[in-house]
Amino acid sequence: MAVERLQKILSNAGVASRRSAEAMIVAGRVAVNGKTLDTLGARADPEKDEITVDGTPVLRERYRYVALHKPTGVLSAVRDDRGRPTVTSLVDIPEATLRPVGRLDLESEGLILLTNDGALTELLTHPRHEVSKEYLVAIDQPLGKRGRERLVRGVRHEGERLKADSVQVVSPSGSPERPDPRWLLITLHGGRKREIRRMLSVVGRRVVTLRRIRIGPLALGTLGSGESRDLTPEEVEALYGAAKRAEAREGGSMARAATADPEPPMKPQAPHPIAIDGPAASGKSTLARALVERFGYVLLDTGLMYRAVALAAQRAGVPASDADACEELAGSGDLRLAIEGSEARVRLLDEDVTDLLRAPEVEGAVSDYAAIAGVRQELVAQQRFFAAMQPSLLVGRDIGSVVLPDAPVKFYLEASEEVRAQRRGEQAAEWGERQSASEAERDITGRDTLDSTRAASPLVVPEGAIVIDTGELDAGAMIAAAIAAIEERTT
């Protein structure tokens, strides 16, 4: 392909509108082959050059990503001087030099990734980005509860601290009724040399078989020994997302050593992205948080983005009547999303403003700014980019109808005005504001009217959405219904 202007490449790749792409370039967020290019005349070859936005590659066609079920006796290396079989000899892809991501011991079996994408290899193997991995381990003698707890607290071996995130007894046949204490499911981050074998030797057990069955969001699944398959683009995005989340959540392995909670494993094939829409105080956040916890999605509350535009405009003295200036602000690159833990937060000129966005001044003005078509266009492009970069759950007013009309699962929550006004009053109290019942009701109905009668992307029930009346169900029942709907579509 010919050399083209960067903004054209980014918009062709669906990253952002041409204007937003220009703003990203000028803000210094775009790099070509590792070098930031912040002038609008900059060009690149999308076939040959690696183009990144905020460090994340946007075009990955020339990379190959393969999941292999490594048999025992095969070396995790590209080649071996002694002529033993290696993982790369099992997946002969002539046009690309694949390398294994990390190691799996000679005697161990299971999931290993092979790729020629150095950025992903670096992300997944660097100690600051450790994603969790899961191993099915058979040991020579049963290990009781005390022994298992010791592994989770951490043991010392040859001057190193070895520690599992969780150790569960499982049934080798998969039957939940008959767990066998000689079969363990061990989850850990990192992976020091022979970590599982060594920690088990400290509690007097010998490993008979050790099979890795999950790396972050990627599961071994039904891949037979010696078999391999290409990853889907969604799986590649999920791996990038998991590695980045691991870094953001834990701040590296030093901090992680002090935390006891294991990372909840993401359901391997949980469908994504998920869309949740509904009027104010319909229960969207409660449902979103429960699904994030359950399936490992990253949450983007798009209302925060509209609120941030309102805040930025107020700070700059730009009224909602000046649509062009508001659109300019929304696409300027001053506003950015940053993932922290499992949620996106909003930064305005590098200041994290997320906690300021519920202030009454913003609350009272946001619907006017959200009604501006140009603002919506900018933010929708950013929301789509976000959803393409990691397994995401987006919450808002137009997610299922406009932002992600092809989302595999969409929810629309509703509740009577009375119920929602009561909830809003309670929320206001939580955010430290005093609001009477009638004020809360006025606030709710005013916002609803603006949001559902505006010309640009009014609040509607998206086609194909699962509609839940949260006034009738309690939170537990609503969450259970939504989980069941997602699991129904999980392959």
Rounded Cα distance, 482 and 409, in Å: 9
Q: Which is nearer to ligand DC, 189 or 447 (CB)?
A: 447
306 binds ligand DC (CB under 6 A): yes
297 binds ligand DC (CB under 6 A): no
Q: Which is nearer to ligand DC, 137 or 310 (CB)?
A: 310
Q: Give the nearest distance from C-beta 396 to ligand DC in angstroms.
A: 2
| DSSP letter assigned to residue 354 | G
Give the N- to C-terminal CA distance of the chain in Å, as an integer. 37
The footprint of ligand DC on residues 430-459 (CB under 6 A) is 447, 451
Alpha-helical (H) ranges within 154-231 are: 195-202
| DSSP letter assigned to residue 75 | B
Per the DSSP assignment, residues forming a β-bridge with 347 are 336, 352
354 binds ligand DC (CB under 6 A): no
Q: Which is nearer to ligand DC, 328 or 398 (CB)?
A: 398
What is the DSSP secondary-structure string of 430-470?
A: HTT----HHHHHHHHHHHHHHHHHSSSS---PPTTPEEEET
Q: Give the nearest distance from C-beta 326 to ligand DC in angstroms.
A: 13
**CA angle (123, 126, 127) in 5-degree steps:** 130
Q: Which is nearer to ligand DC, 303 or 425 (CB)?
A: 303
420 binds ligand DC (CB under 6 A): no
Q: Which is nearer to ligand DC, 296 or 396 (CB)?
A: 396
Q: Give the number of other Cβ atoms within 10 Å of residue 10's Cβ.
A: 27
214 binds ligand DC (CB under 6 A): no
470 binds ligand DC (CB under 6 A): no
The footprint of ligand DC on residues 56-115 (CB under 6 A) is none
Two structure tokens written together for 55: 């460090």
Stretch that binds ligand DC, among 239-247, 262-270, 301-309, 482-490 (CB under 6 A): 301-309
Given 38, 54, 105, 180, which residue is catalytic? 105
Q: Which is nearer to ligand DC, 281 or 482 (CB)?
A: 281
Alpha-carbon 297 to chain mean position: 5
Q: Give the nearest distance from C-beta 369 to ligand DC in angstroms.
A: 8
Rounded Cα distance, 438 and 354, in Å: 27
Rounded Cα distance, 130 and 167, in Å: 18
Rounded Cα distance, 141 and 145, in Å: 13
Rounded Cα distance, 86 and 78, in Å: 6
**Cβ pair 69, 111 in contact under 8 A:** yes
Rounded Cα distance, 77 and 145, in Å: 37
**Exactly one of 214, 307, 423, 424 binds ligand DC (CB under 6 A); which one?**
307
302 binds ligand DC (CB under 6 A): yes
**Cβ pair 486, 274 in contact under 8 A:** yes
**CA angle (68, 237, 394) in 5-degree steps:** 140
- What mask of x and - would describe binding to ligand DC in positions 180 to 199, judged by CB under 6 A? --------------------
Q: Give the nearest distance from C-beta 397 to ligand DC in angstroms.
A: 4
Stretch that binds ligand DC, among 7-15, 171-179, 299-307, 341-349 (CB under 6 A): 299-307
Per the DSSP assignment, residues forming a β-bridge with 156 are 161
Question: SS3 for 395?
Answer: strand
Q: State yes or no: is 355 an active-site residue.
A: no
Q: Give the nearest distance from C-beta 368 to ligand DC in angstroms.
A: 9
Query: Where does residue 261 fall: left (phi above 0), alpha (psi -120 to 50 degrees), or beta otherwise?
Result: beta
The footprint of ligand DC on residues 364-403 (CB under 6 A) is 366-367, 370, 396-399
Q: Give the nearest distance from C-beta 466 to ligand DC in angstroms.
A: 18
Q: Which is nearer to ligand DC, 98 or 310 (CB)?
A: 310
Phi, psi at 343, each rounded to 5°: -135, 150
280 binds ligand DC (CB under 6 A): yes
Task: Compute how many residues bind ligand DC; rule: CB under 6 A.
Answer: 14
Q: Which is nearer to ligand DC, 307 or 420 (CB)?
A: 307
For the annotated catalytic residues, the residue numbers are 105
Applying CB under 6 A, the residues found at the interface with ligand DC are 280, 302-303, 306-307, 366-367, 370, 396-399, 447, 451
